[in-house]
Amino acid sequence: MPHLASAGAPSGDQSGDPSGGPSGLGLVTGAQSRTGALNPADLGRINRARVIHALQVSGPLSRSELATRLQISRGSVSTIVAPLLDSALLVELPKVTGSNGKPPRPLWFADRWRLGAVFVGTGTFTVANVSLDGRLLESSTDTFTDVATFRRRLLRHGERLFDVEALLGIGVGSAGAVDIPTGTVLENYRYPALNHLPLAPLLTEKFGVPTFVDHHPRVQAIGDLWFGIGRELQYFASVYTGDVLGVGLVAGGRVLAGPRGAGGELGHMVVAEGGSQCVCGQRGCWYTIASLGWLRRRAAELELPGAAEVTCHDLGQVTDGPARRLREEYAANLATGLANLEQILGYGTYVLHGDAAGGGEEFADLVAEQVADRIPRRRAEVSVLAAPEQDEATILGAAGMVMFRRYDVQL
């Protein structure tokens, strides 16, 4: 059996250890070109990736369960997972007795590896340490106003949280546009402090592991897809609402990205031509009627108490009066944009994050109704889901992106 390596101390690239650079196990994305032909080795990589993804989606599985799930023979599963066990990415859990026959040995991610996760927002950032099975072990949040402070604080938090011996890679979800191939921040919409910061090289150099950077809503979608509410969905849109409006699209179980990471800027879709002036220079952007800023301005107009700090969650606490009507207006305005997406893409499922998720399932249902009303001849159900109250999708997505990019052969 030509295993690629033996288990052992994490160091070196060709040792087969999953740590220490992108070539461990030869599973790195992009190794196989998009248009070129495939060879048997690619086949192995792809199937190993499928095994990893099946585990991510379904939790610990025995070889036998993997075989049925991937429609493959038990024998093949054994040879597929052998190098993954050898390199200590996976381990065998204790046998599960209780049923007839030889007890299965579920396979699961080894506990010794860690994923680094970073979320860069507008003026704040979070650094976290995540396990392979998607548990957020430890995290810390800090602020910044200029690039020098950001650099210093980011690296300091990283040093504290990351165990470089165990780290498989670092994923970063960043507000504003990102150049994916180089991992550089192109433009942070409201805080230009980080423009042109080569984030991936910075972290790769410091911590010696591969780093992947992507646009925030897309990272959030990866979180939903790998660890969250979208694990079993093939098609959905992950929508962030709040100080910006963004979307990450998942089609056929993969996260879409435009060329060089473009797209996802949902907020400046024009839905009300000639409407209010937007910060972006246009008029009638969705942003002008569905952002948290709009909600608070409108609350102030209605003279609601605490208007300047009101959230969707707050509005849900009140059962009648102007707050109630504002909540409905908010739902309707959100629905306007989502209905447009539904017309264009027809994915049928929308996962709300950010402020709107604070409204919970009730609010999501309200939005769903409004979306359905706006689809001329509804052919399929439209469902709107709210992310859980403790929303870790983006930070988990950043971690998941490491798995996604290292182990998922996108083909």
Partner DNA sequence: CGAGGTTTGTTTGAACCTATGACTTACTGC
Partner DNA sequence: GCAGTAAGTCATAGGTTCAAACAAACCTCG
Which of 23, 28, 105, 369 touches DNA by CB under 7 A? 105
What angle in degrees, to the nearest 10, is found between the helix axes of 40-58 and 393-407?
A: 160
Q: Is 259 in the site for a copy of itself (CB under 8 A)?
A: yes
Encoded tokens for 75: 């024998």
Which of 97, 317, 319, 390 touches DNA by CB under 7 A? 97
Indicate the pairing of strand 236-241 with strand 349-354.
parallel
Partner whose binding site includes residue 79, from a copy of itself, DNA, none (CB under 5 to 8 Å by kind): DNA
Q: Is 376 in the site for a copy of itself (CB under 8 A)?
A: yes
Sign for the CA dihedral angle at 205, 212, 286, 226 comes to negative
Residue with tokens 């999501």: 364
Angstrom distance (rounded) from CA 348 to CA 236: 7
Angstrom distance (rounded) from CA 370 to CA 302: 22
Q: Is 2 in the site for a copy of itself (CB under 8 A)?
A: no
Q: CA torsion 210→214→217→222, rounded to 10°?
A: -40
Partner whose binding site includes residue 62, from DNA, a copy of itself, none (CB under 5 to 8 Å by kind): DNA
Listed ranges 34-42, 229-237, 238-246, 317-325: which one lies at the site for DNA (CB under 7 A): 34-42
Query: How far, rounded to the nearest angstrom, does the alpha carbon of residue 167 sit from its chain's CA centroid?
Result: 19
Angstrom distance (rounded) from CA 183 to CA 196: 10
**Which value, in Å, is the radius of gyration of the alpha carbons in the chain?**
23
Nearer to DNA, 39 or 124 (CB): 39
Partner whose binding site includes residue 325, from DNA, a copy of itself, none (CB under 5 to 8 Å by kind): none
Angstrom distance (rounded) from CA 411 to CA 36: 10
Nearer to DNA, 25 or 312 (CB): 25
Q: Is 7 in the site for DNA (CB under 7 A)?
A: no
Residues in touch with DNA (CB under 7 A) = 1-2, 37-41, 43-45, 47, 62-65, 72-76, 78-80, 95, 97-106
Residues in touch with a copy of itself (CB under 8 A) = 33-40, 42-43, 46-47, 50-51, 54, 70-72, 76, 80, 177, 186-187, 234-235, 247, 251-253, 256, 258-260, 262-266, 268-275, 280-282, 284, 289, 336, 339-341, 343-348, 374, 376-377, 379-380, 411
